[in-house]
Amino acid sequence: MSAPDPVAQIQMMSGGYFVSRCLQVAAELGIADLIADVPVSAAQLAATTGSSADALGRVLTLLCAQGIFERRDGGFAHTEVSRFLRSDHPASMRSFARMFGNPVIWQSVIRLDESVVTGEPMGEKVTPGGLWQYLAEHKDRSEVFNETMAAKARAMVPLVPRAYDFTRFARIADIGGGRGHLLQAILAASPDSRGVLFDQPHVLREVANLASDRLALEGGNFFEDALPEADAYVLMEVIHDWDDPSAERILRAVRRAAPAGARLVIVEAKMPDPPMACWTATLDIVMLNLVGGRQRGFGEYTNLLERSGFGEIREIPMGMGHSIIEASPA
Ligand SMILES: C[S@@+](CC[C@H](N)C(=O)[O-])C[C@H]1O[C@@H](n2cnc3c(N)ncnc32)[C@H](O)[C@@H]1O
């Protein structure tokens, strides 16, 4: 295969956010849900979504050029990729595309230059209280965010109880566990354990129906409230949202709640080394720009955990570019 033309490569990447935005808009309008097995014309799609047929057709044409949809028989048809934008796909990624259309993310990206100069995130500059406060105040955006967390974790969740034995723990707490997708998988693989899902009250309200005699819901703020007592504390893609001082505060809260013999089980994506084009490398910049977090390596986790009162730290690779970091109260 020939090397890409450098000029074209720079052009495509410089304007690449138009492609992202087209994908987000198509997902927001639910275009994939309107296409079944036969092609649908731009005019039909525009009439159903209240759009301009010309504009929508051009947006979808760009997405065809990117291999998302396919243009056939005068209309737009599904590819294997666009089927994942359908709401009813079992591994739907529609919410993921919609989430990246969140105005807090866009307004932060505009100010990435400022993040680079200052090292600071822009989320709190573009809206008071930053992303988390915004989500707490915007129910529709919060639902999309929490659905996205479940969607991004769908393929990864089954790997966690496969890589790590939870059956020895009577009580397992998932801290910042979102909609409880990971905790449910852990409890399914560990039938004698009970679980407690700890997250912000407005997040747990979305999954009130999950509560059972094996799965308790506990709303709270991990910076202010005491965490539940448990034999294992799971934190999946929570620590990466925070800078070192805040990450340390969360870990110290776990340390205070953890009885002797408890285990901390952190699940995080690993930064590729050497660098390569993959989602984790992009995610690191999302963290930098939006919330001030970062994708950390094992050495950085070891330092953070030791400073927060943990020892016996080990890494367990679990596949899909993710690792489990296990630690015990020191
Ligand atoms: C990136 S999401 C990860 C969700 C889930 N663990 C996963 O990996 O799919 C971070 C989670 O932390 C929760 N969170 C953020 N700030 C919090 C706080 N101050 N107290 C408790 N939970 C918080 C969010 O509501 C969200 O569910």
Half-sphere exposure of 42 (CA within 13 A, CB side): 17
Q: Is the CB of 241 under 6 A from ligand 1?
A: yes
Distance 138 CA to ligand 1 centre (A): 16
pLDDT at 72: 97
pLDDT at 1: 59
β-strand 263-269 against 322-329: which pairing, if any?
antiparallel
Intervals of the chain under pLDDT 70: 1
Looking from the CA of residue 267, the nearest atom of ligand 1 is 8
The beta strand positions in 184-289, using DSSP E, are 194-199, 215-219, 232-236, 263-269
Which residues are annotated as catalytic? 240
| CA 105/CA 121 separation, integer angstroms | 11
Q: Which of 238, 265, 322 to mutate to test the pocket of ligand 1 (most atoms within 8 A of CB)?
A: 238
- For the chain, which domains are there? 6-99 (1.10.10.10), 103-137 (no CATH), 152-329 (3.40.50.150)
pLDDT at 4: 80
Sign of CA dihedral 227, 134, 183, 245: negative
| CA 199/CA 180 separation, integer angstroms | 9
Range 224-228, long-range pairs (CB < 8 A, 24+ positions): 226/253, 226/256, 226/257, 227/173, 227/175, 227/198, 227/253, 227/254, 227/256, 227/257, 228/171, 228/173, 228/196, 228/198, 228/257
pLDDT at 279: 94
Q: Is 281 exposed, middle or buried (0-12, 13-18, 19+ CB in 10 A)?
A: middle
Q: Is the CB of 286 under 6 A from ligand 1?
A: no
Distance 58 CA to ligand 1 centre (A): 37
- C-alpha 169, offset from chain centre: 27
Q: Is the CB of 268 under 6 A from ligand 1?
A: no
Q: What is the pLDDT of residues 19-67, one digit of tens each?
A: 999 999 999 999 999 999 999 999 999 999 999 999 999 999 999 999 9
* SS3 call for 202: helix
Contacts of 83 (CB under 8 A, 6+ apart): 32, 89
- The pTM assigned to this predicted structure is 0.95
Distance 320 CA to ligand 1 centre (A): 21
CB atoms within 10 A of CB 67: 11
Distance 200 CA to ligand 1 centre (A): 7
| CA 291/CA 240 separation, integer angstroms | 9
pLDDT at 272: 86
pLDDT at 80: 98
Return the residue matching tokens 């947006």.
59
Q: Check residue 246 and report its DSSP letter.
A: H
* SS3 call for 198: strand
| CA 47/CA 113 separation, integer angstroms | 40
Q: Which helix (H) or strand (E) holds 47?
A: helix 42-49
Q: Atom 19, ligand 1: which residue's CA is nearest?
A: 221
